[in-house]
A and B are shown apart, each in its own frame.
Chain A
C-alpha cells in the first residue's frame, strides 16, 4: 500500500514512505513532525492547515502528499531562517495578533503569499486575501494590523 514519496519541504527533499492517499497535512505533521499546519476542518474551509505550494497559499488537508510532490512546499517553519523570524512573523508578535493562536499559521501563510504579490495591500485587499481563514477568537482587527505592519517592514 505504502509508497515512496519524494517531497521538497522548506528547501529540503524528504523521502517519505506513506499511503499515497495521505493528505499533505498529515504527512507534514506526522511524518515530518512539523507543527505549523494544523488540522481544523479537513475540507479546505478554515485555513488552519495552509502551506505555500510554489509560493501560493493553499490548504493542505485535502491534497494528497503524492500530488503535492510536484510543488515546493513551504510551511510556517520554513519562513524563518537560522532562527531569524520572517518580518511577517515578527509583525504578528509585535501586534500581539493572537488570542488562542490556533489560526495564526494560516494567517501568516496567507499574508506571506499576499505580500509577495502586493507590496502595499489596502485593508480590503488584506481582508480578501484572508477570507479563507477563520478565526474564532475575533482577533481579525489585529491580524489586519499585523499584515499592514509586515508590509511596512518589508518595504523598508
Chain B
C-alpha cells in the first residue's frame, strides 16, 4: 500500500539513496539507448546519460527488495501482481521481495490510459526487458565475485550460485554500498519458457488480503488529516441552466463550510460527510433549473440514428465488396440493435483534492493519471508542474466512468478550501445519471452465400463515439462544461472504437464495414471493449443465421470459414471441453460464438446454455463455458478470473441492461431502475486457458464481452426458434407461440 500521507516522496527520493542497481527504461525498448553491457564491461561505470529522458525504473536494493514503478493503474484486473510476477520471473526473485508503485504523476512514467487490455503487452514487456537486463548486470558482478564465468552461474530466490566452485552470493550483497544505474537496451535475452519459475503459475494477488481484512485500500477509504467533505449538485438533465440557487440558506446549515456556485456548477463543502449530504438534499429541493427536453426519445432513437447518422464511410475491408454484393443476390440481411448501457461501478466515483503550498494534489482512481493532470491543468489554469495526480484503486470501472469527472470536481473545490484535503464522493444517482455510457448502436449486415460458403459480407454501423476521455481538455469534464465560463466539449472526432471487431475474421472473398457517425442524446465514452460488444453481437448472431440458412452446424460453419490456426484451436477446444456435440434436451438451447478481440489480440470462444420455463415464459442462462488463448499465460488464475468476470458482466448487459431516459433526463438512477444480474440468476461459468508459452502475452480483459452476447442470442434461437436482434434479450421478445 502506498504511503498516502507522505506526498513528498517522489521520484527524486526514489533515486537518491545508495546501495542499489537501478534500471531505467522507456516503453519502447531499443530506442535511444546508450550502451549494451557485455562481459568485458564493468557495470560500476554505467551511468544514465540523461535521467530525465528515462521514464520508468526497476530497482534492486541492498535489502534484496525489487521495486517496480509503473504508470499503469490497478483496476481490479490484478495488473500489480502480474507485473511483479514478470519482473520476479526474469530475475529469479521470490515475489514476496517485490514491491510496486503504480500510477502517480510524481513518480511513474506517462503511460496514458490503463485500457484496451494493453498493460501486459506494453508495460509488462518493458518491465520484463528491464529485469532481464538487470539480471545480466548482476550476473556480471557475481561472476567477478565468485571468480566464475557468467555461463557457470544460476540464480534461485535472489541467490547466485556458481557451478564451478559451489560458492554463492546474494543480489543484495552485490549492490551493497554501490550505486549502479543503467538504461535498458532492450537487447538482453529474455528467459525461455522452459526456464520460467513463476510465470504461468497462479500467483495470489496480495491486495486481496488487504481488502478481505478491511485495511485501507480504496480511495474511498483514504482519510487525510483535516479532511473535509464535499458534494456536487448536478442538474436534472444535461443541458439545464441554474436559474436560482439558495446560497444563504445552505450556508446556514450545520457543518457547512462553504457553498460554491459557479455558473451551473454548484457544490457544498462541510466538515462532516453526512452534513454535506443533508445540504445537498436541501440544495436539490430549492434550486431552480431551466432545461430543454432530451430528443430523440428512446422510441425514436434507432430510427433517428439511421436517419441522421453520417453517410457511410468504408472504414475497414475491401471497397469492392459493395459491388460484389450487388452482383450477387443478397442471401440474407439483418439489423441488430444495442442500447445505451452503463459501466455501473459498485462504488460511486470519489476523489480528494488538496491545494497547499502552491501545489494541487489529486488522489484519483482515474485510468490515466497523466491525462487527468493535463485536463485539470486546463480546468483550473495551473501549470502541469503544480499538479500531481496520485492513482489509488477505486471500485471496478470497466472503462471511462465518473473517475475523471470527480477528479475535476475535487480540483475545483480544493482551490476553494486552501490547506484542507477536500473529499468528493458522488452519490449513486450521480454515477448512474452522469457517467458516460457505452453508445447505442445499430448494425446492419448483408451477406451472399454460394455453395454453403459466404462470398461477400457488408456491415453498416451507426454509433456515437466510444471514446471521449478527457485527454487534456477541460470541456470533457462535466464540471468544465458547467462553469460560468464553460469549456466547450470538443469531441476529438469519432473514434475507431465504433468499428472495433466489426470486420469478420472469417475468410470471405470480399468484406467491408461502413461507419455512420451519429451524435446521440446521451453522453458516451469507453465502456469495456467499446464497439466490439455490439459489433460481435451482430456479427456472430448473423453467422448463426447464415449457418441456419445453409443448414449447417454453427460451429462447423465457422470452422469452414477460418484459416487462422489459433482461432480453430480455441473453437475445437471448446467443442471438446463443453461437449458441443452432445444430444439436445427438451427446453434447453445451446449457442456458440467466437471472436479474436480487436482481430489482433486474445482469441475467445464460448458456449451458452439456456433453459426455458414455458409456464412463466422466461428463460434462464444456465451455463457459460469459455476457452481463451491470450498467448503466454502470465498468471492463468488472473486470466480465468477476468474472463469469467467478463462473461458474467456481458451476460448481465445482454439479458437485462438498457439506460432508460425521458424528455426530462435519465431515468435509470438506481439499481432498481437499472437492474443488473444478481446471484440467483448468475450462470455457472467455466473457463479453459490455451497457454502458448512461446508467444507474447496478450491482454485478456475484454475478449469475452462480445462473444457472450451472441452466444446467448444463438442459444435462445436454438431453444425457441426466435431470433432476438435487439439487446437486452428480454424474454418478452421471444415468440412463445412458436414453441410447441
**Which A positions have Cβ atoms within 8 angstroms of B?**
1, 18-19, 21-23, 26, 29-30, 33-36, 38-43, 45-46, 48, 75-77, 80, 85, 89, 92-94, 96-105, 108, 126-128, 130-131, 133-142, 144
Contact = CB atoms under 8 A, between A and B. Distances in A.
B684 interface: yes
Interface stretch (B345-353, B354-362, B545-553, B720-728): B345-353
B213 A80 contact: yes
Interface residues of B, number: 60
A102 B680 contact: no
A46 B671 contact: yes
Nearest first, the 9 A-B pairs at minimum CB distance are A100-B76, A138-B648, A100-B396, A138-B645, A102-B395, A101-B211, A36-B214, A99-B76, A76-B214
B518 interface: no
Contacts of A96: 204-205, 208, 637, 641
Given A93-B208, A98-B76, 8 more contacts: A19-B275, A29-B273, A93-B209, A100-B396, A134-B671, A136-B396, A137-B649, A141-B682
B684 A141 contact: yes
18 contacts: A18-B274, A19-B254, A26-B273, A39-B220, A41-B428, A76-B213, A85-B213, A89-B213, A92-B212, A93-B209, A96-B641, A100-B346, A100-B395, A102-B395, A105-B214, A134-B678, A136-B649, A138-B647
B164 interface: no
Contacts of A18: 274
B676 interface: yes
A20 to B, nearest CB: 11
A45 B679 contact: no
A15 B685 CA distance: 47
B670 interface: yes
Given A23-B274, A96-B637, A140 B648 contact: yes
A34 B214 contact: yes
Contacts of A134: 346, 671, 676, 678
B396 A99 contact: yes
A29 B425 CA distance: 14
A94 B345 CA distance: 25
Contact of A136 (B204, B344, B644): B344
B581 interface: no
Contacts, number: 166
B218 interface: yes
A130 B678 CA distance: 8
A131 B680 contact: yes
Contacts of B205: 96, 98
Contacts of B218: 35, 38, 102
B712 to A, nearest CB: 14
A2 B214 CA distance: 28
A19 B644 CA distance: 44
B490 interface: no
B214 A98 contact: no
Interface in B402-457: 425, 427-428
B371 interface: no
A92 B641 CA distance: 13
Contacts of B277: 26
B216 interface: yes
Interface in B196-238: 204-205, 207-209, 211-218, 220-221, 223
B672 interface: yes
Contacts of A19: 254, 272, 274-275, 278
Nearest to A80: B213
Contacts of B214: 34-36, 75-77, 105
Contacts of A128: 679-680
A142 B684 CA distance: 10
Contacts of B652: 138
Contacts of A97: 208
A105 B211 CA distance: 8
Contacts of B679: 126-128, 130-131, 133, 140, 144
A30 B648 contact: no
A102 B208 contact: no
Given A137-B396, A138-B645, A141-B644, A100 B75 contact: yes
Contacts of A133: 679
Nearest to A37: B214
A131 B649 CA distance: 16
Nearest to A31: B272
Interface string B647-681: 11100100000000000000000111000101110
Contacts of A89: 212-213
B595 to A, nearest CB: 18
Contacts of B649: 136-138
B208 A138 contact: no
A39 B347 contact: yes
Given A48-B347, A133-B679, A135-B346, A99 B204 contact: no
Contacts of B699: none
A126 B684 CA distance: 13
B648 A99 contact: no
B347 A40 contact: yes
Contacts of A108: 212
A42 B204 contact: no
B345 to A, nearest CB: 6
B427 A22 contact: no
B646 interface: yes
B254 A136 contact: no
Contact of B648 (A36, A40, A102, A141): A141
Interface in B45-70: none
Contacts of B209: 93
A35 to B, nearest CB: 5
A153 B654 CA distance: 37
B113 interface: no
Q: Give the one of B77, B205, B345, B396 with max A CB within 10 A.
A: B396
Contacts of B682: 127, 138, 140-141
Contacts of B377: none
A102 B428 contact: no
Q: Give the one of A92, A131, A135 with max B CB within 10 A.
A: A135
